[in-house]
Structure 1
């Protein structure tokens, strides 16, 4: 088992050890059904009424750091935002339906330490399903979102940075924007991101360093756009000293249809992708553009848009790229020529490289 698979396995084991959603004795619970919800902490009832959001927030507000809330009931929070404070553990066992609140998350944790969301089931059309910034030691477990629009998980761009973030298994269907979008994370571990019928990226990493990702799997992701199942952008992987020493590791990227498969752009790099499995992408299967220190070690590309190394004039030329692939029913192109580029291509692809 490779080092990246070990990371994914460790995350999965952590979820198993934790137990099932709502198991054991949570410190607080939310029970009931539409029109009649109760929130209880121990033997004390902290909310009773028809407002699902108020029941959840009351339960959260009743606990302290290191304590756990299990939301057993299903319902709709409308356009409200659930806020999770430092050290609290939130389990969404029922299905939480959410609405659109501009520039907010349906569930958010901002400027916090040690928040855990081991389980979550969400439906609806949020602005952001989950929204974070300024977080340390955040742990997301088994997160399932079946959305009709919106963006799944967002770490904010122009706010405080984040460190030591982990995600186990993220499954997002139907987002109009990205499934998972990161900004400003140092220390990120992801078991898997599974994206289905998503409008933009499956996993988009930006200004994120020291990342370990097991699997990115996209089907019908970014159709008709320049986005990709897996995209690195905006200086992703660039270390504090400006270098691109490898620090972003991805075990495998799988992409079917949609837009691009793998896309690295805008002075990103420092990345090693162990394997790709790409087929019938509607845009470039792979595009490496103004990136530095990128290695794709193995895999296959079948049909779809071309595999290309490129560069725009506003950034330094693409350099230090190594690609080993089997490519069929496609083309491989390097234009303009990069610097220190290594190609090892098998299959029947037409090659136009420097």
Structure 2
């Protein structure tokens, strides 16, 4: 019952804010249905025709920085990529159905500043639903993706870094890969990521620092593989000087079923998780592997795969780990022994710790 009500609340919130999408007087709009769409800037037509994606791009291209486009119509852009340039505000009030274009996002903003996407509703099977790199002051608001595959939101690994990225409420259903995957962000704020029936991670953050996340909530996430509802990897939380002072703050991770619940790996750390609520994970409820200065301050693990601290030989051993946790109907194992580890455990679980 609790799981259903949480997602119902999220959907109700999305419905409430969608009523505000397109409010006031947008600088440009896309209207129409079926095979007839019109893009207007003010009272001037900038596109009329059957191509929904072309109408959206024409509306975006017609405005300048600081101005707003509201896409009121629903339709399919196919494998087209919509590009948002610096300073523009994009509201996807209708439902945008998308196809799969290899290596590209259905909607992209690359090497830009001050782009805002306050509202978006997306369906389909994209390669990436939203794709970013080289952004500064990017703001994502109420993003709802009801997908049949693909990856939801992606910040690229091999391109320019990002700074000052914010997200409000990200709802992703049905992604075959991750709901949200970040690389190379300095300054990340997320209210919540809600992932349902997602193939890999709910939230995966990599080489990202100075991050604050409210809630990561996953159901049936990463079933049958090594990913997790929440995963930190690839030097996430490592500061510029190579140290791991606490700079990644997560308020709560909730996970039901799927694969792992929480996973920290590959020289990540500098992280504090205030609370976990994990039950019946098919893989490790928690796995901390070659991570440094990680604190879990409280919460409950019920059943599922073991809570584990481990290390691979190619990286320095895990160190400065502190875990306060109630563990029921599960086990806790530390192997090999970490350096400067602290466990404060309760519940009926069994533990083998150093």
TM-score (norm 1): 0.95
Question: C-alpha distance in 1, partners of 2:232/2:65?
Answer: 35
Residue 94 (structure 2) aligns with: 94
Q: Quick check: 2:18–2:119 contact (8 Å CA) kept in 1?
A: no
Residue 141 (structure 2) aligns with: 141
Question: C-alpha distance in 2, partners of 1:34/1:191?
Answer: 35
3-state SS, counterpart of residue 242 of structure 1: coil
Question: C-alpha distance in 2, partners of 1:132/1:109?
Answer: 5
1:260-283 CA deviation, whole Å, 9 max, x = no partner?
000000000000000000000000
Higher relative contact order, structure no. (Cα contacts within 8 Å, ≥ 6 residues apart)? 1
Q: Quick check: 2:17–2:142 contact (8 Å CA) kept in 1?
A: no
3-state SS, counterpart of residue 59 of structure 2: helix
Question: C-alpha distance in 2, partners of 1:312/1:134?
Answer: 32
Q: Quick check: 2:206–2:235 contact (8 Å CA) kept in 1?
A: yes
1:219 shift after superposition: 0.1
1:250 shift after superposition: 0.3
Matches within 5 A, 1:143-162: 143-162=143-162
Structure 2 gaps, min length 5: 1-12
Residue 105 (structure 2) pairs with residue 77 (structure 1): no
Residue 84 (structure 2) pairs with residue 114 (structure 1): no
1:338 shift after superposition: 0.3
Paired residue total: 340
Residue 231 (structure 1) aligns with: 231
Matches within 5 A, 1:180-259: 180-259=180-259
Question: Is the alpha carbon distance of 1:17 and 1:48 closer, same or farther for their aligned partners in structure 2, counting shifts above 3 Å?
Answer: closer
Question: C-alpha distance in 1, partners of 2:226/2:37?
Answer: 45
Question: Is the alpha carbon distance of 1:307 and 1:108 closer, same or farther for their aligned partners in structure 2, counting shifts above 3 Å?
Answer: same
1:34 shift after superposition: 1.3
Residue 103 (structure 1) aligns with: 103
TM-score (norm 2): 0.95
1:18 shift after superposition: 11
1:70-110 CA deviation, whole Å, 9 max, x = no partner?
00000000000000000000000000000000000000000
Question: C-alpha distance in 2, partners of 1:186/1:268?
Answer: 15
3-state SS, counterpart of residue 312 of structure 2: coil
Residue 279 (structure 1) aligns with: 279
Question: C-alpha distance in 1, partners of 2:156/2:237?
Answer: 17
1:345 shift after superposition: 0.4
Question: C-alpha distance in 1, partners of 2:316/2:43?
Answer: 63
Q: Quick check: 2:186–2:210 contact (8 Å CA) kept in 1?
A: yes
